[in-house]
């Protein structure tokens, strides 16, 4: 039995979550039952998302319906779930899907220009023609204004798939295009008893950056308006509360309609009988037909309304950060609508149009038409870097790996989460606030860190340990680093349509800012695995704020930093001023190891798509040679002999193969994983070989290469984590573990030992602190206390480019420095000794070392 709790808030409109199980504990066809802490049975829908090599359940996913009744739950395998009185239903007839939650019914056509033809509550239609809309320009928005022609388009659905059909949860997937470009995937999530339907929208950018400029992208629905104008209501979320308006307002008039009328209108209830002094003059009170809330930045939104097109807008007092939720309707019902992370993903907009007519229109803009059109052209002209030699010179000064034509966004994606809620009356302000909060922090049930650890998933980590001052000091620094990045995201405004979820790479202490404009020092793009650090820190602490930060990073790095179509499909881009700007396109960025955490904890189908895109990850090595600029040998990608690095490359391949095997039982992926593991064990120098040639047809390495080539980056993109998982699976390949332990022992070994065991001293050794976790792993596997002490020495002493001790006392104490005055744009608290490379690798080394050799940590 597994205890479950809410991460931060209950999932009022249904929730899906994942649970890990120890190897051999749960059979693949076992049912699951759920009960509240009071013993009351709760209907639950369950399915398997991963299995162990023996076929037992590794991860299961579960869903419950709306309005959960408990704060804690108990999940029990092997027992049948409670029956759901009113299940979700999915019916298909004559090219039309009808999906009902027991509260609302959506009618979905299997092709055409709508995501839903109609939304009803009971017998009453609330909304119709839910559709995607877009605006496109052939040129950028002029700096000083001026007319630019815009082409309007409606998204066309080409394919509809029912991925789940109840009884608790149904998922409908719609695929199509925004006009003649921008392929999209939309998933509609229905839960039993829910009036809310969650919408997950992903689009892939496939335009020409020189002539395609996206000027607007949104979700639109028409809302049926039946009530008198004074019983129609508009609500738009501000910083904390809501703009509370009626289409025809009865408050503030020269004549009083009556206190009960005024109170009722503000509360969203029927106004009832109006005093004749006002009632006989209703036709003289303006009806406000249109409303707009425009979030142009993370620091401000504007509000305006008008009586009709062709008349001036009237300004409404603005605010800072809108929660991104709205409502239009009346006392007989209406539509709630919103966008998660609305202000964080600016420029965004909420529109209500034609509220004074029989059919109002609500639009949630993912890209606001008020903003300059999206401009994805490369940010400089190349500066004459036409040859590899010139590009390597550029790398030496700005750390940017430039190559003509490679700074192309063609194929990157973005995912947004929206919500539509059909209600039977205007919600109260408290209910609207709850809707907005539930949208922005969706409920999630989670197992305790202790229970997740017991399952033995995700490799090397243990619960926080403050048992000694030395342990507590490391834990304090782990907390400091996470809190720093939360603070920096806010101070530096790491928000925006393409940027939210990422962090910057390196700090510029002279300008007191991150190097947002300097080549490869700007956006981090998963460089040196901050994703892994954050997810392991969440697993060990169970902190909701760590989860939300890691969730946003996973959404960003899996979509924006990776190509989902085109010539680089399956590869990601190295760090750059623009997320897609670097010419280094590699599997280390699209790494499945960075996505697995979120997928298994939430069963999120879109994240599953991202990992499915890597079903044959080895084929990406035919696309481009990652080492093309620095090779000394002659090499052209050959399917029979592909050059694959045994560090960042094979680690990413192994993560994709393992995930494919445990999710889908894919024998091809299993055979390639086990085969290459055996081949690495058979290489004379094992992992020290550096790279090997892969035969694409057989999926095996050539094991004849006998040389040593070590890179400081090999172990910094998930290789130690995936090797630990594979060895723990006990797959019967002893040569693989031996090869990995040799690498772990020798990388930081004294040169004399390297020469004695490997025949030469290893060159290219750096990032000492980061690699201390390799030494720790070898110490733990062999029980060598001396090796454990050596690992802690390498972790603690300033022997390389690392984050730990520093000559400045303030930096030794890991404190912030306040910088204010005219030299900075705004006052900031800075930690100039922190870079993301060092922070991520300090975090991973600290977590691994505490888990592996914590008992050997001595006071200093």
Residue 608 three-state SS? helix
Q: Note the pLDDT of residue 180.
A: 93
ω into 167 cis (within 30 of 0): yes
Cα 404 to chain centroid distance, Å, stands at 30
Q: Three-class SS of residue 685?
A: coil
Q: Name the percent of the chain lying above pLDDT 90.
A: 94
Query: Does the pLDDT at position 628 exceed 90?
Result: no
Measured distance CA(656)–CA(637) in Å, rounded: 21
- Taking alpha carbons only, the member of 387, 248, 253, 345 closest to residue 305 is 248
Cα gap 327→726, rounded to integer Å: 51
Cis peptide before 347 (omega within 30 of 0): yes
pLDDT at residue 800 above 80? no
Percent of the chain scoring above 70 in pLDDT: 98
**Which residue is listed with tokens 């129609």?**
232
Does residue 634 surpass a pLDDT of 80?
no
Lookup result for tokens 């009346």 = 330
Q: Which H or E element spans position 322?
A: none
pLDDT of residue 797: 76
Identify the bridge partners of residue 715 per DSSP, sorted by sequence position: none
CA distances from 807 to 475, 508, 714 (A): 22, 18, 29
| Model confidence, pTM | 0.97
> Using the 8-state DSSP alphabet, how is residue 562 labeled?
B
Cβ neighbourhood burial of 405 (10 Å; 0-12, 13-18, 19+)? exposed
pLDDT(803) > 80 = no
CA 257 to chain centre: 51
Do the strands 413-423 and 359-367 form a parallel or antiparallel pair, or are they unpaired? unpaired
Rounded Cα distance, 715 and 844, in Å: 11
The answer, yes or no, to whether residue 386 has pLDDT greater than 90, is yes
**Of the listed ranges 36-40, 213-217, 529-533, the one predicted with least confidence:** 36-40
Identify the pLDDT of residue 808.
Answer: 43
Specify the pLDDT at position 809.
39
Q: What is the mean pLDDT of residues 827-834?
A: 94
| pLDDT in the model for residue 68 | 81
- pLDDT of 655 reads 98
Q: Which of 759, 628, 783 is nearest to 688 (CA)?
A: 759
Question: Locate tokens 């202000």: which residue?
Answer: 343
Which pair of tokens denotes residue 375? Answer: 């401009």
Mean pLDDT value across the chain = 95
CA within 13 Å, CB half, 392: 8
Q: Are 382 and 404 in contact (CB under 8 A)?
A: yes
Task: Specify whether the CB–CB gap between 152 and 47 falls below 8 A.
Answer: no
What is the C-alpha to C-alpha distance for residues 372 and 458, in angstroms, rounded to an integer? 43
Give the Cα separation of 767 and 692 in Å (integer). 24
* Rounded alpha-carbon distances, angstroms, from residue 77 to 40, 58, 65, 295: 16, 12, 19, 47
Q: How buried is residue 463: exposed, middle or buried, by Cβ count under 10 Å (0-12/13-18/19+)?
A: middle
pLDDT in tens, 450-475: 999 999 999 999 999 999 999 999 99
User: DSSP string covering 82-138, please?
Assistant: PPPSS--EEEEETTEEEEE-SSEEEEEESSBS-SEEEEEETTEEEEEEEEEEEEEES
Closest CA to 565 of 697, 408, 696, 415: 408
Average pLDDT over residues 62-81: 94
Query: Each residue of 120-163: pLDDT tens digit?
Result: 999 999 999 999 999 999 999 999 888 899 999 999 999 999 99
Contacts of 146 (CB under 8 A, 6+ apart): none
d(CA 843, CA 478): 6
Instruction: Express each pLDDT in 13-40 by its tens digit.
Output: 999 999 999 999 999 999 999 999 899 9
d(CA 702, CA 342): 51
Encoding tokens for residue 448? 């305790």
Residue 805 has pLDDT above 60, yes or no: no
Mention every residue, 6+ apart, whose C-beta is less than 8 A from residue 750: none
Span 582-595, mean pLDDT?
97
Cβ 246 vs Cβ 234: under 8 Å: yes
Q: Residue 487 — φ and ψ, nearest 5°?
A: -65, -45
Q: What share of the chain is helix, strand, coil (3-state, %, to 5)?
A: 30, 30, 45
Confidence class for position 626, pLDDT limits 50, 70, 90: confident
The whole-number pLDDT of residue 764 equals 85
| 3-state SS assignment for residue 797 | coil
DSSP character string of 24-54: TSS-TT--EEEEETTS-EE--EEEEEEE-TT
**H, E, C per residue of 515-557:** CCCCHHHCECCCCCCHHHHHHHHHHHHCCHHHHHHHHHHHHHH
The 3-state secondary structure of 468-505 reads CHHHHHHHHHHHHHHHHHHHHHHHCCCCCCCCCCCCEC
Work out the pLDDT band at 260, boundaries 50, 70, 90: very high
Split at pLDDT 50, 70, 90, the class of 804 is low
- Give CA 773 to chain center in angstroms: 27
Region 516-541: what's the mean pLDDT? 98
**Helix, strand, or coil (residue 302):** strand
- Look at the chain and count its residues: 860
* Cβ(774)–Cβ(765) below 8 Å: no
Q: Buried b / exposed e across 329-357, counting CB within 10 Å, b at 16+?
A: bbbbbbbbbbbbbbbbbbbbbbbbbbbbe
Give burial (CB, 10 Å; 0-12/13-18/19+) of 367: buried
Which single residue is written with the structure tokens 């930081």?
748
- Nearest of 529, 565, 473 to residue 773 by alpha carbon: 529
Interatomic CA distance for residues 188 and 418, integer angstroms? 10
d(CA 115, CA 186): 8
Tokens (6 digits) for 42:
């709760």
Q: What is the pLDDT of residue 821?
A: 93
Residue 810 is predicted with a pLDDT of: 44
Which CA distances in Å does 164 have to 48, 177, 205, 228, 692? 13, 23, 28, 40, 42
Contacts with 128 (C-beta within 8 Å, 6 or more apart), sequence order: 117, 118, 119, 221, 222, 224, 359
CA dihedral 542, 544, 545, 549 (to 10 degrees): 90
On whether the CB atoms of residues 617 and 656 are closer than 8 A, the answer is yes
H/E element holding 744?
Answer: helix 734-747
Cα(128)–Cα(121) distance, integer angstroms: 12
pLDDT above 90 for 627: no
Q: Hey, where are the domains in the chain?
A: 2-77, 89-219, 223-375+422-440, 615-765
Q: Are 594 and 554 in contact (CB under 8 A)?
A: yes
Q: In what order do the strands lie in the sheet with 700-701?
A: 642-645, 691-695, 700-701
Query: Are residues 701 and 679 in contact, defined by beta-carbon separation less than 8 angstroms?
Result: yes
Q: Euclidean distance between the first and final Cα of the chain, in Å?
A: 43
CA distance 262 to 258: 6
- Hey, is 836 helix, strand or coil? helix
């Amino acid at each position: 039995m597994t205890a479950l709790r809410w991460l931060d808030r209950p999932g009022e409109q249904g929730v899906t979550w994942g649970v890990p199980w120890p190897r051999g504990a749960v059979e693949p066809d076992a049912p699951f039952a759920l009960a509240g802490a009071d013993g009351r049975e709760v209907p639950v829908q369950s399915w398997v998302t991963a299995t162990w090599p023996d076929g037992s359940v590794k991860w299961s996913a579960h869903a419950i319906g709306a309005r959960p009744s408990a704060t804690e739950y108990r999940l029990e395998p092997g027992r049948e779930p409670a029956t759901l009185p009113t299940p979700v239903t999915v019916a298909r007839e004559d090219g039309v899907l009808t999906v009902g939650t027991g509260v609302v019914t959506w009618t979905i056509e299997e092709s055409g220009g709508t995501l839903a033809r109609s939304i009803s509550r009971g017998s009453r239609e609330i909304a119709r023609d839910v559709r995607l809309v877009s605006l496109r320009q052939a040129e950028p928005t002029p700096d000083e204004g001026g007319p630019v022609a815009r082409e309007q388009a409606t998204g066309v659905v080409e394919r509809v798939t029912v991925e789940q059909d109840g009884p608790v949860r149904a998922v409908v997937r719609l695929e199509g295009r925004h006009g003649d470009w921008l392929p999209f995937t939309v998933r509609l999530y229905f839960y039993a008893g829910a009036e809310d339907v969650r919408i997950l929208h992903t689009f892939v950018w496939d335009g020409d950056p020189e002539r395609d400029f996206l000027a607007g992208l949104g979700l639109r629905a028409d809302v049926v308006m039946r009530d008198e104008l004074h019983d129609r209501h508009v609500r738009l979320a501000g910083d904390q509360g809501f703009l509370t308006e009626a289409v025809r307002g009865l408050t503030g008039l020269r004549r009083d309609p009556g206190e009960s009328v005024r109170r009722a209108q503000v509360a969203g209830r029927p106004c009832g009988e109006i005093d004749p002094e006002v009632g006989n003059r209703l036709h003289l009170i303006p009806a406000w037909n249109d409303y707009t809330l425009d979030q142009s930045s993370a620091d401000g939104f504007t509000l305006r309304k008008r009586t009709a097109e062709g008349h001036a807008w009237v300004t409404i007092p603005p605010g800072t950060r809108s929660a991104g939720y709205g409502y239009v309707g009346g006392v007989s019902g209406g539509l709630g609508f919103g966008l998660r992370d609305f202000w964080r993903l600016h420029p965004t907009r909420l529109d209500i149009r034609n509220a004074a007519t029989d059919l109002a229109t609500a639009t949630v803009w993912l890209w606001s038409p008020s903003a300059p059109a999206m401009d994805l052209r490369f940010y400089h002209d190349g500066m004459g870097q036409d040859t590899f030699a010139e590009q390597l010179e550029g790398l030496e000064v700005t750390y940017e790996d430039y190559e003509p034509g490679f700074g192309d966004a063609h194929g990157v994606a973005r995912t947004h989460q929206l919500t539509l809620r059909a209600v039977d009356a205007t919600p109260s302000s408290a209910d609207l606030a709850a809707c907005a909060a539930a949208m922005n922090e969706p409920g999630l049930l989670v197992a305790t860190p202790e229970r997740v650890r017991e399952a033995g998933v995700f490799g090397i980590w243990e619960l926080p340990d403050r048992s000694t001052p030395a342990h507590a000091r490391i834990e304090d620094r782990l907390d400091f680093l996470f809190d720093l990045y939360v603070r920096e995201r806010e101070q530096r405004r790491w928000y925006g349509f393409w940027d939210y979820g990422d962090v910057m790479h390196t700090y510029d202490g002279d300008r007191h800012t991150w190097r947002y404009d300097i080549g490869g020092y700007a956006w981090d793009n998963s460089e040196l695995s901050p994703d892994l650090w954050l997810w392991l820190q969440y697993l060990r602490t169970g902190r909701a704020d760590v989860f939300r930060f890691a969730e946003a990073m996973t959404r960003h790095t899996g979509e924006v930093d990776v190509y989902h179509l085109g010539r680089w499909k399956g590869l990601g881009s190295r760090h750059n001023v623009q997320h897609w700007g670097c010419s280094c396109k590699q599997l280390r960025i699209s790494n499945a190891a960075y996505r697995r955490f979120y997928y298994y904890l939430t069963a999120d189908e879109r994240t599953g798509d991202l990992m499915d895109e890597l079903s044959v990850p080895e084929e990406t090595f035919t696309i481009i040679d990652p080492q093309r600029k620095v090779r000394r040998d002659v090499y052209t990608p050959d399917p029979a002999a592909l050059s694959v690095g045994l560090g960042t490359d094979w680690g990413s391949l192994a993560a994709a193969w393992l995930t494919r095997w445990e999710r889908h039982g894919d024998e091809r992926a299993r055979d390639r994983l086990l085969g290459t593991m055996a081949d690495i064990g058979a290489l004379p120098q094992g992992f020290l070989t550096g790279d090997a040639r892969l035969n694409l047809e057989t999926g095996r390495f050539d094991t004849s290469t006998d040389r040593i080539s070590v890179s400081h980056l090999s172990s910094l993109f998930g290789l130690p984590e995936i090797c630990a998982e594979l060895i723990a699976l006990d797959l019967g390949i002893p040569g693989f573990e031996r090869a990995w332990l040799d690498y772990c022992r020798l990388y930081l070994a004294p040169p004399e030992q390297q020469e004695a065991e490997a025949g030469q001293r290893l060159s290219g050794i750096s990032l000492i602190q980061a690699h201390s976790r390799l030494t720790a792993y070898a110490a733990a596997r062999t029980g060598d206390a001396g090796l454990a002490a050596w690992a802690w020495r390498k972790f603690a002493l300033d022997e390389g480019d690392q984050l730990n001790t520093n000559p400045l006392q303030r930096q030794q104490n890991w404190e912030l420095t306040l910088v204010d005055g005219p030299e900075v744009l705004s006052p900031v608290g800075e930690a100039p000794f922190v870079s993301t490379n060092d922070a991520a690798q300090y975090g991973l080394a600290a977590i691994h070392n505490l888990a592996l050799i914590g008992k050997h940590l001595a006071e200093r």
